[in-house]
Amino acid sequence: MGQDVKITLDPTLEERFVNKCKSLEMDVEEVVSKLIEQFVEGQSVLEAQEFADGLTVREYLDLPEEEKDALWSKWEKVAEQQVGYIVKDAKPDALPPR
């Protein structure tokens, strides 16, 4: 059906890719095939990447809005604890700068 396709990668990138596949005990050909399949089907490769709190991008996007809101509330509280309030409320009698 098809013709053979040869993909040339930067040698450093190729080495990193092969090493990553080995460390995850995944077959290089299978990973490449799956990535191409996802691309052809219009799926984002990023969907499988970790987003936050152990969720992948796809898992996060599939959550109901209530659960997303709860996560964002949690993350906002953590951020406030880490950095504190950056914006302070202005007093009612405050004057704008001249």
Question: Is residue 63 a part of any domain in this protein?
Answer: yes
Predicted pLDDT of residue 57:
84
Predicted pLDDT of residue 11:
93
Calpha distance 51→58 (Å, rounded): 9
Calpha distance 37→12 (Å, rounded): 24
Give me the tens of pLDDT residue by residue for the chain, a chain 98 residues long.
568 888 898 999 999 999 998 988 989 999 898 888 888 887 766 777 788 888 888 898 899 999 999 999 998 888 888 876 656 666 777 776 66
Question: Is residue 91 a part of any domain in this protein?
Answer: no
Number of domains in the chain: 1
DSSP 37-79: HHHHTT--GGGGSEEETTEEHHHHHHS-HHHHHHHHHHHHHHH
Predicted pLDDT of residue 65:
94
| Parallel, antiparallel or unpaired: strands 55-56 and 50-52 | antiparallel
Calpha distance 98→96 (Å, rounded): 6
Predicted pLDDT of residue 10:
93
Range of the domain at 44: 11-83
Question: Is residue 5 a part of any domain in this protein?
Answer: no
How far is CA 87 from each of CA 78, 83, 84, 90, rounded to the nearest angstrom? 16, 11, 9, 9
Question: Is residue 2 a part of any domain in this protein?
Answer: no
pTM given for the model:
0.43
Question: Is residue 98 a part of any domain in this protein?
Answer: no
